[in-house]
Structure 1
Amino acid sequence: MQAVVLESHGDPLALRDVPEPDLEPDGVIVDVEACGICRSDWHAWKGHGEWVDDVPPEGQILGHEPAGTVLEVGDRIETLEEGDRVAVPFSLGDGTCSRCRNGHGNVCPNGTALGFEPAGQGAFADRIAVPHADYNLTTLPEGVSASAAAALGCRYMTAYHGLAHRADLAPGDWVAVHGCGGVGLSAVQIANALGARVLAVDVRSAPLEKATELGAHETVHGGGDVPGKIRELTGGGAAISIDALGISETCRNSVACLASLGQHLQLGLTTDAERGEVSLPTDSMVGREIDFLGSRGMPPTRYDELLGFVESGAIDPGALVSHKVPLAEVPERIAAMDEFSAVGIEVYER
C-alpha cells in the first residue's frame, strides 16, 4: 500500500510503498476513506516537540484524523464487524488502566498517539491498524460522511473536550478564541453551539469572516491592545479564553483578556520560538484567580457526545472543509502550512 512517510524532519515528505499493517487480536484494520490535514502534522514534520519528548521518529507514517471502514477484525474483538464505518481518535487508550476506566483514555499512560509514534503508524495511508479497537473506535451515525468525521479530527475533539469537559462554560458566557485556524474555528463553532457568546481574534480578515459565518458574535483584528479591545467589547473581560495558535503573544493575550475568575484554555502547541515555555503574569493571575487549563484530544468513551452534535446539526465540521486532496498532494499541503495561508480544514480523501 502507499503512505506518506517522514524521512527526515523538515525535508520533503515522501509518498512510499510500505508494508500492510499487522492485525492484532484486540485490533482491527481500517480502510482509510478520509483523514484531516492538521497543523500538528506540520509540527511533527518540522520536528517540534523535543522539549516534551514528543518528536516522531524518521520513518513514521503521519496522519492522525482518520475515518473509514473496518476491513478485518482480530479474534478478541466483540463490538465491531467488517463493514462498520468508524471514526478513529488520535489518542488511543489501552482500555484497561485506571485512566481509561475512569473516562480519561486520552491521557492513558499506556496509550498510543496515532501518527506520532511507531506503535501508531498514521493514516496518510491506504489502511491503518487500530489497537484496543473495542475501546477506541466509535461507529459513525448515518449521514455523517467520512470527510466530515475526519474534519472532527483532533481539532474538534480537543476544542469540544476543553469547552465541555475541562472549562466551566455556562450559556451566555463570553468565550474569546485567539487564532482562527482549524482548531480555532472549531472552537468558535462549538462554543456557539454550547450557548456562549463568541469573540474571535486573528490577524487575517478571511478567517475572521469565516468565524462570523460559524457563529462568532464579535471579531477583533490582531495587533495592538487585543486584551483591551476584548475587555471593552465584553464589558469587563471573557469568562473563558482560548489560545488556539500556541505562540507567546496569543497565549499572553488570552490570559490578559480574562475577567476575574476567568479560565484560560490552551489548545495550540508551541513552535521552536517558544519551545514549550511562555512567560505569564502569574501575580496577576493569582490576584484575579485565573485558571490555566489544557486540553489534548478527547476520551474515546465521550466521542458519542460530539457525534451527537454533528448528527443533530448543532455543529457542522463539513462547513470547515475547504479542500479535499488525494494522498499524493498531502506532502505539499503540509509544507504550505509554513505560510499560515489556508482558511478552514484540508482533508485527504480517497
Structure 2
Amino acid sequence: MRTAPPGPVMLDVHGLELDAEDRELLNHPSVGGLILFARNFHDARQLAALTDAIHSVRRPPLLIAVDHEGGRVQRFKSDGFTHLPSMHTLGSRYEADAGGALADARAAGYVLAAELRALGVDLSFTPVLDLDYGRSGVIGDRAFHLDPAIVAPLAGALAEGLRAAGMKSVGKHFPGHGWAEADSHVAIPVDERDFDTIWALDIRPYLDLGRQIDAVMPAHVIYPAVDRMPAGFSRTWVQDILRGKLAFDGVVFSDDLSMEGASVAGDVVARAEAAWDAGCDMVLVCNARDQAVKLIDGWRPEFDSVRSARVASLMPARPYGDRSVLAQDARYRDALDAVRSLLA
C-alpha cells in the first residue's frame, strides 16, 4: 500500500471493479481523488466493494466523489438509493412554504449523504448555486430558483443536512452558469454581463453562505467583462474575487478539464496548469482515460502542503457506516419520509 499525501488530480475508473491499470493510476503521486459515474454502479454490494478497494489503495485514502444532486443528475438510482427531487422542486415549495421547504432541503441533504456514506462515497458535488434564468438547458431544474435570496437559504439547509450525515458540500458553478445558454460540456459558454450585475445576483448565494459551503467549483464560462479566460482558469475570479472579496478559504475544484468549455486553455496539461495557476486545489479529468494518463505523465506541479491539506479536509471525519447502520438511524428514517412526501 502506497503512503503519500493527496495529489491535485481527480480521475475516474472504467467499470465495476478496479483493474490493474486503475490501480497503477490511483497510486500515482499526482492523484488525490476519484469520481464515480453510473457505469461504476450495479448494486449496493458491488459499490461498497469498489469504494473499499479504492480506499485501500493508499494512505491516506483517496477522496471518492460523485455528481449526485437529485433530479436528473443522480448517478445511483436503484438498490436502496432514494430518487431525490430536483432542486427546482424545493425552490417551488419555498414560494408556498419557506419553513417547510428548508426542512425538506435538510432532509434531502441528509438522505443524499447518508446513503452515499453508507457505501463508502465521501463527497457529492452539490449544491448547485446557479440561478435559474430559464436560459441554460444544462442547468435548468438543477437550480433551486431565480431569486438568490431563495437559493442561498435552501442551499444552506441542504448543506446542513449533508454535514449532519458526515459529508461536506461543494457549491457550483462559480460565479454562475445560469445566464450563459451554451452547455460547457460541448461548447464554450460566454456571459456578456458586467461584473456589478453578476456580483449583485449570481454571486449573492456565495456571499450569503460563506463557509457553510466547504468547496467551490468554478464554471467553464467566459465572462469577458472580467477576464478573457473561463472562471476556473482565471486568477481574477479565483484569487481576487473568490479568495479575496469573498474571503473563501475552502477547497476549489476545477470543473472537468475534458469538457469543451476548457479547450480555450490548450491541451490537458495546459488546462491543468492554467487551473492550478489560477488557484484551483484539485483538477478533474473525466471520461477520457488517455487525457488522464497524458496529464499525470506530463504535469509535475510543485507539492503544495496547504492545498493538499484543504483537499484532505473534505474526507469524512467519522468511520464509514453501512446499510445495517443506516437502517437503525432514526434521523435517516424521518428524513426519508419527508423526501418521499415531497415526491408524492
Structure-2-length-normalised TM-score: 0.31
Compare the two structures and name the one with the higher strand fraction. Answer: 1
Structure number with higher helix proportion: 2
Higher RCO, 1 vs 2 (CA within 8 Å, ≥6 residues apart): 1
TM-score by length of 1: 0.31
